[in-house]
């Protein structure tokens, strides 16, 4: 594999008006391509050319910092003018203190005196007190003087950032124009950063003035680093070059006291010296009008086209990309098929020039429903002894969760249709109930005595059955477990004790499956999977539970889950769900969690803006969660569809439902797509003409 980027499409030259821009010789592609984004670029070429011309004049502006930074620096300089006055007023006092002929000097001043005058010191209490005060004033003046010098250094460095930004942009332009290999150009990029870092004038900056939010050049430099790492250095052959670039940029951030590692990263490493910066995904904490326009343009353009030529599962997700929440910039991630990542590079390079403050990149990733059950881990000789003794006596050893109390099952149990040929398995998120009162129609009052479960429609809707019955736990998981046991017992001879134990376990599971066929956990009464008018997916089904299921405990995580998590905040009745939270009442970036039948307990952060993706030949939009890497390597996978997305109540005991998980990104498994619970209940009311609510504890 060579390091030359031969697959990259050439971009057409765009004449830049005015003087040389900070982005140097940036090129904008005029080829729209076959993708939807390419169509947008073609239809908005007039607007984008104007935007590009505006961006090219950035270097001509005399503004070196943003408005907020100007105010900070102005305040510091105003303080410095006061310090100068203090210096002039007290210069005579300082000279007097350093005069060795003065009698009664305090002991703390003796270090600055000659040895021959040390013996002439006279102890005078009043004189010592006066000189002590003068000494404190002297220390204050020295501190102010250091502060003044540091402010001057900070301003000087700020003035040099545009030059650094322009030099780095020349390297990016060389890559875009195929004038240099990726590795060679990246090393030139690193050398420019290194020279800036090693400059003595840039060291020992103690002022916390510059951030990615208040300085446009810091944002652009970070964008160039991400552009190299995500769009050119993502292949294994560039792994070393990528690591060097990230390390050097981390040192650059340290000049301005910008942290590139969080406390959790440091605590997770025994030796902090080997902690390297790692690029992660973070949620947008507020809605950006610019991103809203981009996403809205994609949706509107797709409505005007009868056929959208995009691959199944491809998506566009607005988020933040960087090292920490504070050390990250606004980004838009394109999830595409693996064989189209290189083809999409020309579009990415065009967007790079059009939007100077937003990072664009492509990944080989696609949206998939969370309904494909994971394979049961086969039993091996390594753990055979511990499992054999407990298989026939303890249900907790099963690879799927089972309810201890049939009448009061917990939430998040695995679910499937009660069909031995079923190929789908998901998670029963929880339970809801209709709001029936004295004013409700008589024909609806009998519904108030029943319990209703809810999960994704694609998990339990069947074309062969109009109202299929369901199995708790999933019948598919039980069948896969039996298959795993049958494969394991073949390694042992007939009549052996090991084979006998396997047969007993298989018999026990088969008996439990027969019991489920005789006593179904519930029956589907309604469900739909369709795209509504606002391009949002409606994918949920309602299950009328078995009459023996009373659910007096309401929606409860379950003792087994709470004990296994070890989270004290979920104890003492905090494991019960008390209601749901509307999306306009929840703050973006809040921590949420879910418990699915496959990945179990995982945490994440709510993103401030929705993503758009292509599925079933249609454009869809969805709220989504970004995984928290501090607790788990992935957020969701197959078998988690239907899981409730939950958050802890801030002003009372218990949990609130934010939404219900329906999809995830199939490769990285860092994004969880969900439908808000208020949307589900609103849709259910429109269909049934009855108001619904979360089942509460009696």
Mind listing the domains of the chain with CATH numbers? 1-55+159-365 (no CATH), 68-153 (no CATH), 381-529 (no CATH), 556-685 (2.40.10.10)
Closest CA to 369 of 663, 124, 694: 663
Is the confidence at residue 564, as pLDDT, over 70? yes
Confidence of residue 522 (pLDDT cuts 50, 70, 90): very high
What would the mean pLDDT of 564-570 be, rounded to a whole number? 81
The whole-model pTM stands at 0.75
Q: What is the pLDDT of residues 384-428, one digit of tens each?
A: 444 434 433 445 567 888 888 888 899 999 999 999 888 899 999
Residue 454 has pLDDT above 90, yes or no: yes
pLDDT mean over 584-597 = 92
pLDDT value at position 397?
Answer: 65
Q: Of 11-15, 207-211, 499-503, which one has max mean pLDDT? A: 499-503
Q: How many CA atoms lie within 13 A of 47 on its CB side?
A: 10
Please state, rounded to an integer, the average pLDDT across all residues of the chain.
75
Other C-beta atoms closer than 10 Å to the C-beta of 560 total 14
253-267 pLDDT per residue, tens: 888 888 888 665 544
Residue 229: per-residue pLDDT? 95
Dihedral angle over CA of 426, 392, 421, 528, nearest 10: -20
Give which of 378, 682, 333, 327 is closest to 533, Cα–Cα: 682
* 426-443 tens-digit pLDDT: 999 999 999 887 777 777
Give the C-alpha distances (Å, rounded to integers) separating 307 from 39, 304, 586. Answer: 13, 9, 36
Which regions of 247-327 does DSSP assign to beta strands (E)? 280-282, 315-322
Q: Average the pLDDT over 124-149 and give the result.
A: 51
pLDDT at 80 over 60: no
Cis peptide before 578 (omega within 30 of 0): no
Residue 661: pLDDT band (50, 70, 90) is: very high
Q: Which residue has the higher pLDDT, 507 or 35?
A: 507
How far is residue 673 from each of residues 337, 472, 615, 635, 679, measured CA to CA in Å? 19, 24, 13, 10, 14
The set of catalytic residues is: 458, 539, 641
Q: Is the pLDDT of residue 151 over 80?
A: no
Q: Does residue 190 contact residue 240 with C-beta atoms inside 8 Å?
A: no
496-515 core/surface letters (b: 16 or more CB in 10 A; e: else): eeebebbeebbeebeeebee
Among the listed ranges 43-52, 505-514, 617-626, which one has the minimum average pLDDT value?
A: 43-52
Determine the average pLDDT of the residues in 205-218: 78
CA angle (282, 284, 290) in 5-degree steps = 135
């Amino acid at each position: 594999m060579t390091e030359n980027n031969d697959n990259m499409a050439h971009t057409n030259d765009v004449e830049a008006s005015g003087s040389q821009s900070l982005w140097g010789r940036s090129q904008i592609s005029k080829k729209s391509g076959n993708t939807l984004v390419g169509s947008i670029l073609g239809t908005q070429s007039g607007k984008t050319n104007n935007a590009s011309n505006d961006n090219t004049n950035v270097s001509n502006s005399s503004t070196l910092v943003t408005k907020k930074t100007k105010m900070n620096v102005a305040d510091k300089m105003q303080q410095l003018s006061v310090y100068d006055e203090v210096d002039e007023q007290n210069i005579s006092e300082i000279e007097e203190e350093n005069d060795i002929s003065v009698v009664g000097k305090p002991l703390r001043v003796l270090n600055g005196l000659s040895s021959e005058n040390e013996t002439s010191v006279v102890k005078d209490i009043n004189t010592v007190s006066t000189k002590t005060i003068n000494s404190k004033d002297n220390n204050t003046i020295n501190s102010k003087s250091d502060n003044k010098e540091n402010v001057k250094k900070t301003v000087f460095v700020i003035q040099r950032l545009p030059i650094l930004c322009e030099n780095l942009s020349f390297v990016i332009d060389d890559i875009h124009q195929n004038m240099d290999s990726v590795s060679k150009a990246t090393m030139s990029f690193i050398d420019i950063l290194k020279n800036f870092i090693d400059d003595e004038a840039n060291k020992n900056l103690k002022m916390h003035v510059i951030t990615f939010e208040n300085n446009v050049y810091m944002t652009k430099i970070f964008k160039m680093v991400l552009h190299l790492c995500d769009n050119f250095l993502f292949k294994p052959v560039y792994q070393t070059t990528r690591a060097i670039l990230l390390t050097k940029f981390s040192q650059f951030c340290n000049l301005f006291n910008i942290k590139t590692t969080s406390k959790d990263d440091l605590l997770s490493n025994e030796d902090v010296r080997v902690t390297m910066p790692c690029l992660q995904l973070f949620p947008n904490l507020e809605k950006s009008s610019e991103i809203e326009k981009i996403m809205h343009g994609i949706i509107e353009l797709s409505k005007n086209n009868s056929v959208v030529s995009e691959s199944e599962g491809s998506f566009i997700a607005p988020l933040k990309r960087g090292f920490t929440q504070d050390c990250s910039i606004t980004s838009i991630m394109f999830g595409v098929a693996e064989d189209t990542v290189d083809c999409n590079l020309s579009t990415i390079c065009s967007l790079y020039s059009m939007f100077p403050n937003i990072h664009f990149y492509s990944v080989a990733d696609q949206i998939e429903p969370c309904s494909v059950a994971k394979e049961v881990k086969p039993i091996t000789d390594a753990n055979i002894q511990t499992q054999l003794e407990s298989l026939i006596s303890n249900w907790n050893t099963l690879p799927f969760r089972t309810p201890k109390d049939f009448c009061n099952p917990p939430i998040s149990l695995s679910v499937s249709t009660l069909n031995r040929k079923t190929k789908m398995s998901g998670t029963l998120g929880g339970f809801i109930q209709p709001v029936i009162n004295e004013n409700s129609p008589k024909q609806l009052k009998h519904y108030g005595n029943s319990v209703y479960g809810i999960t994704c429609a694609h998990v339990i809707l069947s074309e062969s059955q109009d109202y299929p019955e369901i199995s708790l736990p999933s019948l598919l998981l039980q069948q896969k477990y039996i298959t795993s046991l049958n494969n394991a017992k073949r390694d042992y001879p007939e009549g052996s004790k090991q084979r006998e134990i396997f047969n007993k376990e298989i018999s026990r599971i088969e008996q439990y499956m027969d019991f489920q066929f005789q006593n179904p956990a519930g029956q589907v009464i309604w469900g739909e999977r369709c795209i509504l008018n606002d391009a949002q997916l409606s994918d949920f089904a309602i299950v009328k539970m078995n009459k023996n299921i009373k659910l007096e405990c309401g929606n409860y995580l379950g003792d087994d889950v709470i004990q296994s998590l070890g989270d004290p905040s979920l104890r003492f009745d905090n494991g019960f769900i008390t209601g749901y939270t509307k999306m306009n009442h929840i703050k973006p970036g809040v921590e949420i969690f879910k418990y699915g039948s496959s990945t179990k307990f995982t945490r994440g952060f709510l993103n401030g803006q929705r993503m758009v993706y292509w599925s079933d030949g249609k454009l869809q939009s969805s709220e989504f969660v970004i995984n928290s890497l501090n607790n788990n390597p992935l957020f969701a996978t197959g078998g988690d569809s239907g899981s409730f997305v939950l958050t802890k109540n801030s002003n009372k005991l218990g949990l609130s439902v934010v939404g219900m998980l329906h999809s995830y990104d199939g490769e990285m498994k860092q994004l969880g797509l969900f439908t808000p619970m208020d949307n589900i209940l609103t849709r259910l009311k429109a269909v049934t003409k009855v108001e619904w609510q979360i089942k509460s504890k009696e």
